[in-house]
Copies of this chain bind each other. A is one copy, B any other.
């Protein structure tokens, strides 16, 4: 076992197979892809990369599997199922574009799709096939996409996946904010392999990862942490401004042919920007590099918008650019000097997960109604809405009324 030091988990032990995968060029690229994209321009400590996060997720997988094993939950399961989970944890972010999630919002492939060829072919595919059999890469891909029949699937993708625990705690640590505190140890301890409640629609007949009732307050801590991180970091107005600038400048470079979409996933953060500086310099790029971020011209909370209004801003990139440029023109700004932003609608915390009650029966959390505890799925939805804002950023001060913005939606 090789040991790697880590600011969050202190000592991460790595099995030989994990080490071999880490030593491949696609994995080493992750050292140069910042975990939080442009957030380091607002939180200077956020210089951590997908590389550390991947190691940490692998580490949590080892711990979670160790605890399940200690309690006998894995009895009768093939060891290979556990190995697949550890490796999927390690490789789950292999497909990230430069600056992580931002480019997915301009219509680039989701990173889990990008991952497939990187895992199936090249050095990673070779190593996996040699160690775990010819269909190992595809098994790992299915786990990462959340489509595996592995009963441990829930550790990799789902309401309580280890990825989430890892990034919330690491991002909070690196940003220097006291918001990522999760009762991680208790959460891991209360994971359990259960058969879903019989009444669950489409319930798979097989085993899946759930949580013991006594772990529910740790689940609450996860929800609070996630909400606070969205409100204070991920959806911080200045972080969103930098992200909007980056999305638009890359989009413009793609449109201008200075860059091709298929190359994107091969770049590092700095590799992409330095390349664009020489091949497709632009005022947006220069402003980003000198940290002259666009300012809010207006912002409106999601809760004050008509239901479903404006969802196209997150979903339909072409329409968004057109709207941006039309508004810019009205305000006397150049194309690219006004940017719209409305973070993609996702669940704050999907909470459709089985709970093993003290009495021994299993319930889906979403069913929970009247047992006196807080309604977590509902609270989750409320918190989510309150953290989401529609914003317009401009290069120079500009006057934009709420009425004008709402007309657009």
A75 at the interface (CB under 8 A from B): no
The docked-state distance in angstroms from the alpha carbon of A129 to that of B224 is: 47
Q: Is A11's beta carbon under 8 Å from chain B?
A: yes
A5→B43 contact, CB < 8 A? yes
A11 — which chain B residues lie within 8 A by C-beta? 176, 185-186, 189
List A residues at the B interface (Cβ < 8 Å).
1, 3-11, 23, 25, 28, 31-32, 40-41, 43-45, 47-49, 51-52, 55, 70-71, 173-179, 181-186, 189, 217, 220-221, 224, 228, 231-232, 268, 270-271, 274-275, 289-291, 300-304, 370-374, 379, 382-383, 385-386, 389
Chain B: which residue is nearest A3 at the CB level? Answer: B189
A368 to B: closest C-beta gap in Å:
11
CB contact between A5 and one of B51, B177, B271, B379 (< 8 Å): that residue? B177
Q: How far is the CA of A41 from the CA of B48 in the complex (A)?
A: 13
Separation of A173 and B176 alpha carbons in the complex (Å) = 12
Given contacts A178-B183, A224-B224, 7 further A-B contacts (CB under 8 A): A6-B176, A7-B174, A11-B189, A47-B49, A178-B181, A270-B274, A301-B373
Complex alpha-carbon distance, A325 and B227, angstroms:
47
Contacts of A1 in B (CB 8 A): 70-71
Residues of the B chain whose Cβ atoms lie less than 8 Å from the Cβ of A40:
31
Q: What are 6 A-to-B residue pairs whose CB atoms are below 8 Å?
A: A3-B186, A11-B189, A44-B49, A178-B182, A217-B232, A270-B271
CB contacts (< 8 Å) of A185 on chain B: these are 10-11
B291 and A7 within 8 A (CB) = no
Copies of this protein chain in the complex: 4
In the complex, the answer to whether B52 meets A5 with C-beta atoms within 8 Å is: no
| Cα distance, A379 to B223, chains bound together (Å) | 14
Of A9, A232, A275, most B-chain CB atoms within 10 Å: A232
A69 nearest CB across to chain B (Å): 12
Given contacts A291-B28, A304-B372, A373-B301, contact A7 B45 (CB under 8 A): yes
Tell whether, in the assembled complex, residue A370 and residue B5 are in contact, meaning their CB atoms are under 8 Å apart. Answer: no
Question: Given A185-B10, A270-B274: A301 and B176 within 8 A (CB)?
Answer: no
The answer to whether A372 touches B303 (Cβ under 8 A) is yes
A213→B99 CA distance, assembly (Å)? 31
How far is B388's CA from A369's CA once the two chains are assembled, in angstroms?
16
Nearest CB in chain B to that of A374: its residue: B386
Chain B residues, Cβ within 8 Å of A183: 177-179
Chain B residues whose CB sits within 8 angstroms of the CB of A389 once the complex forms? 372
